[in-house]
């Protein structure tokens, strides 16, 4: 069985392997040892309640309970833009009109904004290729919302997700090469690493201050604005199923789209129920459901066959052992 559990310093080797597999453009998983080690330290402190709520960054690992192998990672940031700006480009419409000529022109422009400060972010969703079928990705993605649902007040009323932008088969990023690189004058990989590992001051120093007219950009850059990486389509579908919608914001490096949803309207947060565990030897009529521990410090989640009766959830001992709960404990259930 697969289980989603908190990540800590002992998971470094597994996280580095996933970072290598994720490839370019996955900013939250850089192939940088100090950054990944710090992230795991922050994750452990976040789950233990040792950090201020807005500073928490919860990292989750998808583990095969039988082999102990780590197959995926995901994360939830309690708040973005608190200690460093959270820049995006907003795609805006501009209209120009000449009364003398009787002509009107509609333009699009990219405007640098910092609109999402204080919002929570779900991200870092990545699975090994061989695990991207059979519901593992959905389990990992929904576990983030079960975590939020276990203590909503730790998170913002608005939740966003950034999707990786378009890269060509050869690894090049059209938007970076034709637009962003003109301002940052460094390879994409270096900017990506600095974005994850630094305080982001270089973005504040170098990012464009004035609108960029989309019509003036080369066609390869224009056509990828707001496009999702070929490996990100499944992630976008999962987000849309939860209620996330486009915001009109795109990433300043690769022009990948930002989507968002009010916290309490996220489908899994809204529809999951807090129930009391009741242990049984067997179940006659069970329903496959998402089940998680309703406590952030001891958070674990899995998909298992259970039965809901009134305010109780009936589960077998193997499921309870996987979640490390006992009869009478509170769990959160989403059918």
Let me know if 229 is a catalytic residue: yes
Residue 110: phi, psi to the nearest 5?
-100, 125
In the chain, the percentage of residues whose pLDDT exceeds 90 is 77
Q: Average per-residue pLDDT in the chain? A: 93
134 to 98, 192, 230, 237, 257: CA distances (angstroms) = 58, 32, 19, 15, 27
Is the predicted pLDDT of residue 113 greater than 90, yes or no?
A: yes
Q: Are 96 and 105 in contact (CB under 8 A)?
A: yes
Q: Which residues of 139-162 are buried (b: 16+ CB within 10 A; e: fewer)?
A: bbbbbbbbbbbbeeebbbebbbbb
The pLDDT value recorded for residue 138 is: 94
Q: Provide the whole-model pTM.
A: 0.91
List CB contacts of 185: < 8 A, sequence separation 6 or more: 206
Confidence label for 324 from pLDDT (cuts 50, 70 and 90): very high
The pLDDT value recorded for residue 198 is: 66
Q: Are 282 and 253 in contact (CB under 8 A)?
A: no
The Cα 142–Cα 114 span in angstroms is: 27
The pLDDT value recorded for residue 232 is: 87
pLDDT per position as a tens digit, 160-218: 999 999 999 888 999 999 999 999 989 888 887 787 666 678 888 888 989 999 999 99
**Residue from 178, 185, 210, 229 carrying the catalytic annotation:** 229
Confidence label for 278 from pLDDT (cuts 50, 70 and 90): very high
Over residues 230-246, mean pLDDT: 93
The pLDDT value recorded for residue 161 is: 97
| Cβ count within 10 A of residue 290 | 24
The pLDDT value recorded for residue 25 is: 67
Confidence label for 133 from pLDDT (cuts 50, 70 and 90): confident
Top-confidence residue, 98 or 24: 98
């Amino acid at each position: 069985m697969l289980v989603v559990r908190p990540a800590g310093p002992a998971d470094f080797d597994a996280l580095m392997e996933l970072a290598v597999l994720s490839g370019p453009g996955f900013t939250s998983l850089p192939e940088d040892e100090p950054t990944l080690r710090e992230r795991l330290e922050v994750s452990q402190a976040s789950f233990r309640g040792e950090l201020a709520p807005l500073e928490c960054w919860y990292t989750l690992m998808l583990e095969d309970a039988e082999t102990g192998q780590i197959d995926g990672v995901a994360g939830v940031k309690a708040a973005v833009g608190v200690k460093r700006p959270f820049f995006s480009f907003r795609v805006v419409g501009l209209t120009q009109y000449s009364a003398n000529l009787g002509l009107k022109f509609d333009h699009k422009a990219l405007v640098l904004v910092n609109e999402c400060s204080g919002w929570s972010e779900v991200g870092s969703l990545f699975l090994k290729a061989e695990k991207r079928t059979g519901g593992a990705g959905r389990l990992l993605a929904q576990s983030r919302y079960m975590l939020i649902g276990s203590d909503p007040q730790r998170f913002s009323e608005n939740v966003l997700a950034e999707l990786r932008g378009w890269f060509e088969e050869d690894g090049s990023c059209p938007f970076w090469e034709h637009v962003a690189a003109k301002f940052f004058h460094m390879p994409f990989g270096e900017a990506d690493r600095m974005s994850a590992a630094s305080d982001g001051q270089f973005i504040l120093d170098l990012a464009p201050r004035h609108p960029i007219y989309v019509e003036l950009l080369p066609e390869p850059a224009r056509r990828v604005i707001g496009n999702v990486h070929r490996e990100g389509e499944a992630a976008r579908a999962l987000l849309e199923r939860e209620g996330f919608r486009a915001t009109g914001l795109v990433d300043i490096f690769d022009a990948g789209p930002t989507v968002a949803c009010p916290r309490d309207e996220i489908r899994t947060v809204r529809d999951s129920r807090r129930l009391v565990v009741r242990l049984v030897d067997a179940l006659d009529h069970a329903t496959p459901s998402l089940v998680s521990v309703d406590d952030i410090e001891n958070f674990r989640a899995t998909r298992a066959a259970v039965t809901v009766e009134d305010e109780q959830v009936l589960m077998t001992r193997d499921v309870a052992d996987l979640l490390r709960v006992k009869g009478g404990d509170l769990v959160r259930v989403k059918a």
